[in-house]
Amino acid sequence: MKRRRRARKVEDIALQRIERLFELAEAEARKRGVKARSRSDRYVQLARKIGMRYRVRIPSHLKMRICKGCYAFLIPGKNVRVRLREDYITTTCLRCGKQMRRPYKAPHPPSPRRE
């Protein structure tokens, strides 16, 4: 019982750090320059490492901000092209050329079995 409580606390802290790193990545990405872009990518890399180390999923609204090919932090208009198709949204990373598709439909609510 005590071990599970401690593990949940660690997961909560890891999730908070991931969210904070994404906030920092967005702030750095808004700045101009190559150093700021590389720093924002480094924040994303650290967030991914924290998620893998503590086995915490990166929230889906933040995961959409990462390129699946080069793991760069994506900012529409700067380093990603967004196109609206009939059934889905296509985002194209301008660094590596990877295309990612997301459907228009609303996401499903979380399953009660996952908790």
Q: What is the DSSP string of 3-27?
A: HHHHHHHHHHHHHHHHHHHHHHHHH
Average pLDDT over residues 12-20: 96
- Reading the block at residue 36, the tokens are 């700021």
pLDDT at 113 over 60: yes
pLDDT of residue 114: 62
CA gap 64, 60 in Å, rounded: 6
pLDDT of residue 2: 65
User: Could you tell me the pTM of the whole model?
Assistant: 0.80
The residues facing 103 across adjacent strands are 88
CA gap 42, 58 in Å, rounded: 16
pLDDT at 81 over 70: yes
The residues facing 89 across adjacent strands are 84, 102
